Amino acid sequence: METPAVQMTQTLKPTERLQQLLPELFNPQPVSGEQFLRLQLTPDLTIALALSWVEETLLISPQLVTPIPNMPPHALGLLSSKGQVFWAINLVQLLNLPMVLEPSQYYEVVVIRTLPGETDQNMGFQSTLFLGLVVPKIKGSIRLSLEDIVSPVNEVEIGLQPYLSGQLVVDGQTILVLSAEAIGTSQMSMPG
């Protein structure tokens, strides 16, 4: 003999049955916070960049980066993606962190938008400039509440200070929030 709940479930239309089984699908809860991309720069340092500045992430062969002579050590060279050519920057070296990018078969690259470029008078639109941040490990995205981001409590590496927006603690781990805008602005003076 079937229980009344089983009989009722069997008489429901498929959509109604789904609503009963998965109410959160039909009544989603509002999601709070902004999305950030987590990056592991050293074994002890995780940073976050606002996803609103991230154009794409790439896993590329180092041979696809064209070295340019007489550039700062953090400038690995030029890279292209989606018809755009931009600088590939070793973020760990730019921030003067102790760990260097270890030779690998692939680079993990976060392509960020920098400040808008020149307005093309002939085409009538403003171009966007990109910058490729080569990092040891892309950890994925995370949602963070902007209210939880506070000024750093402890001393941070001197190389991080010009790019730092703040910090927060997630699951017992301190995450430093870097400004993609500050990183992009600092690299705008590079030729190219």
pLDDT in tens, 5-41: 444 445 677 777 667 676 666 666 556 789 999 999 9
Let me know: does 87 contact 107? Beta carbons within 8 Å. Answer: no
Are 47 and 177 spatial neighbours (Cβ–Cβ below 8 Å)? Answer: yes
Instruction: Give the pLDDT score at 31.
Output: 61
Q: Tell me the per-residue pLDDT of 99-122, one tens digit each, with 9 for 90 and over.
A: 655 667 899 999 999 865 554 555
Does the pLDDT value for residue 192 go beyond 50?
A: no
113-172 residue pLDDT tens? 986 555 455 545 455 689 999 999 999 999 998 888 888 767 777 888 889 999 988 888
How much is the pLDDT for 49?
95
Residue 92, Cβ density class (10 Å: 0-12 exposed, 13-18 middle, ≥19 buried): buried
Strands 84-90 and 125-135: parallel
Q: What are the residue boundaries of the structural domains of the chain, listed by start?
A: 34-170+181-187
Tell me what the pLDDT averaged over the chain comes to: 81
Half-sphere exposure of 47 (CA within 13 A, CB side): 25
Is residue 62 a contact partner of residue 102, using CB atoms and an 8 Å limit?
Answer: no
For the segment(s) 34-170+181-187, the CATH number from 2.60.120.10, 3.40.50.720, 2.40.50.180, 1.10.10.10 is 2.40.50.180
Contact 127, 117 (CB under 8 A): yes
CA end-to-end span of the chain, whole Å? 77
